[in-house]
Chains A and B, each alone.
Chain A
Amino acid sequence: MLRTDDVRVHFEGVRAIDGVSLSVDRGEILGLIGPNGAGKTTLVNVISGIQPPDSGTVRLGEDDITAWAPPRRARAGLGRTFQGARLFDRLSVEENVEAAAVSAGLRRRAARARTDELLAIFRLEDVAHRDASTLPHGTARRLGVARALAVAPIYVLLDEPAAGLDEEESRELVALLRDIRDRYEVGLVVIEHDVPLIMALCERIHVLHHGETLAVGAPAAIAKDPQVIDAYLGEAGHQEVPGAGG
């Protein structure tokens, strides 16, 4: 299990995270939702080690990893994507994935095998030798997820993987993420503003609001939670969100 206990992060006056305890199991897809500025990205940064918390702990299985640097966490099985993609722009698509694999400690042969496998799964073979910076948006998003999986993770944190995708691409991404979960038995934490998509994809949803946990539960229960509707879903309901099945 991957979990945070009572994590707090304060930026000069802003309580970005204010005592959040979150957990996700292997093989589970957890949705992390909440309005802009709720603290979702900050929480993912705490889990991946980029943002040290002011207090609270992060645990990976039996280990307290709160003091671990990001590379050590990646090698222990934590993969992630970034809200702003942050691809290795002037590396080819293939090198992006392979660099992540060797960074996580895979030997060359294993890294290549994993790269080939991921390029096939994410339909990136035809652009394998193109620079990442030249990819269309949807393809770049897929590469971000493929790269996160290259580290052979047990848990993957996805920060708005469907942002900017069209309906068709979102649908495909949902199918891919399911496929990934089944194939590698990873636990996924997915941040997403596309409510229908997240409801269709996730088994459990964790709602953040002003840095605090507003609710945790099954999608159906979350959709009916008056507090959540008030703080988040109400506003989202007005948006023309493309349906992602469900």
Chain B
Amino acid sequence: MPRQAPSALPLAAIVVVVALVAGSLSRSSQLDVTTGLVQMCIVIGLYSFVGVTGVFSFGHIGFAAVGAYVAGVLAVPVTQKELLYAELPGWLSNVELDPLVAVLAGALAAGVVAALLAPAFGRVSGLSAALATFAMLVIVYVIARNYEPLTRGTKGMLGVPRETTLWVAAVWAIVFVVVVDLYQNSRIGLQLRAAREDDVAAGAMGARVGVLRGGALILSGLLVGLAGGVYGQLLGSFNPDVFYLDLTFLTLAMLVVGGINSLTGAVIGTLVLTFLAQWLRDLEGALDRPGLTEVCFAILMFAILVLRPSGITGGRELRLRLPRRRRRQETPPPVAEVRPNSRT
């Protein structure tokens, strides 16, 4: 039987179109779209846990923070480190990794943090899991503010190479779309989605739900950590507040508005809120009403949660329609009438 067409292709095409259009816009609009595409990576990473497992998380931005700081500090040029990071431990002050390698190292660090949390997800579920990740976010935030030799605290990171151009962001977004689509349709992804619908039934079919969810947390930690590193290399300078509640709220709103249980929802939600944010910010300026954007997003998220909890996409994936092949009849249809019992 033909399997359903993957949704990575049309979604990647959307990203390409967005990048092409953005390429012809003003510098500032380009930057907004680039930011949107990086945030799309974070939202896709978030989806790979929240959407696929059905376990909520308020803390994934903590992984982005770990990725951003680790990737940042590893990629700052040595010459600048003497100046900006004088108190850095000796071995770190001589390290200057290629920005891409630094991003991967940041992802790995976030993955390690996720691995520390993973065992908890074998047991806790629902609200307690959401609170556990939130606690992690707060801890990461507090460390980022106070461990100044590495993070420069509230003064913020400086000198991170700005490597994330529009097309770098677009390529990452495509990579994320492809990886997560493969993942959600893999053996593991299938079991996780089944357990999302009914974990008792999934367990009775043989799924080791706790172990699988721990693994899902690690993968999503890697992905969000990677996206955080890419974000850091877009900003060049950032402080702990960049990776805290505002971004947590924004990325959750993107996922909820698009549709929490589909990859398409993560992509569409990010795009919709990115463009809406553009427009609202102009309006904010014209009306002189700062904070309008956040309020509107909050209202929108609330409206979606009440009126259409499955989001714009309704939990469906965008798929290319393949011509349906006629299936071969391999098994004879079962006998329709009841035969007298042969074994009594």
Q: Which chain A residues in 39-93 approach chain B with CB under 8 Å?
A: 48-50, 69-71, 74-75, 79-80, 82, 86-92
Known: A98-B190, A103-B207, A151-B206. A201 touches B341 (CB 8 A): yes
Is residue A172 contacting chain B, with contact meaning CB distance below 8 A?
Answer: yes
Q: What is the CA–CA distance of A147 and B198 in the complex, to the nearest angstrom?
A: 13
Whether, in the assembled complex, A179 has its beta carbon less than 8 Å from a beta carbon of chain B, the answer is yes
Which A residues are CB-close (under 8 A) to B329? 120
A99–B334 touching, CB < 8 Å: no
Selecting from A4-12, A122-130, A228-236, the interface stretch reads A122-130
* B341–A200 touching, CB < 8 Å: yes
Is there a chain A Cβ closer than 8 Å to B288's Cβ?
Answer: no
Which residues of the partner chain A approach B208 to less than 8 Å between Cβ atoms?
71
Known: A119-B1, A120-B329, A120-B330. A245 touches B204 (CB 8 A): no
Contacts of B207 in A (CB 8 A): 71, 99, 103
Q: Indicate which residue in B187, B194, B200, B205 contacts A151 across the interface (CB closer than 8 Å).
A: B205
Residues on B with beta carbons closer than 8 Å to the beta carbon of A87: 197-198, 201
A125 in complex: contacting residue of B204, B327, B336, CB < 8 Å: B327
Q: Considering residues A108, A119, A175, which has the most beta carbons from chain B within 10 angstroms of its beta carbon?
A: A175
B316 smallest CB distance to A (angstroms): 9
| A93-137 at interface with B (beta carbon < 8 Å) | 94-96, 98-100, 102-105, 108, 111-112, 115-117, 119-121, 123, 125, 128-129
Q: Which residues of A contact B339 (CB under 8 A)?
A: 175, 178
Look across to chain A and name the residue whose beta carbon is closest to the beta carbon of B315. Answer: A90
Q: How far is B186's CA from A98's CA once the two chains are assembled, in angstroms?
A: 11
B3 partner residues in chain A, CB cutoff 8 A: 94, 112
Q: Give chain A residues whose Cβ lies under 8 Å from the Cβ of B204.
A: 48-50, 70-71, 74, 80, 82
The answer to whether B338 and A203 touch across the interface, beta carbons within 8 angstroms, is no
- For A125, list chain B residues within 8 Å (CB): 1, 327
A interface footprint on B314-332 (CB within 8 Å = 1, 0 otherwise): 0100000000000101110
Chain A residues within an 8 Å CB radius of B315:
90
Q: Tell me which residues across on chain B come within 8 A of A22, comparing CB atoms.
A: none
Considering the complex of A and B, which 9 residue pairs feature the smallest CB-CB distances, nearest first? A245-B338, A74-B206, A99-B194, A104-B206, A103-B207, A88-B197, A100-B205, A103-B206, A103-B205
B interface residues with partner A (beta carbon < 8 Å)? 1, 3-4, 187, 190-191, 193-194, 197-198, 200-209, 261, 315, 327, 329-331, 333-341, 343-344
- CB within 8 Å of B: which residues of A? 28-29, 48-50, 69-71, 74-75, 79-80, 82, 86-92, 94-96, 98-100, 102-105, 108, 111-112, 115-117, 119-121, 123, 125, 128-129, 147, 150-151, 171-172, 174-176, 178-179, 200-203, 218-220, 244-246
**Could you jot down 23 A-B contacts, CB within 8 Å?**
A50-B200, A69-B203, A71-B208, A80-B204, A87-B197, A88-B193, A99-B205, A102-B191, A103-B191, A103-B202, A103-B205, A117-B331, A120-B333, A151-B206, A171-B338, A200-B338, A200-B341, A203-B341, A203-B344, A219-B344, A245-B337, A245-B338, A246-B340
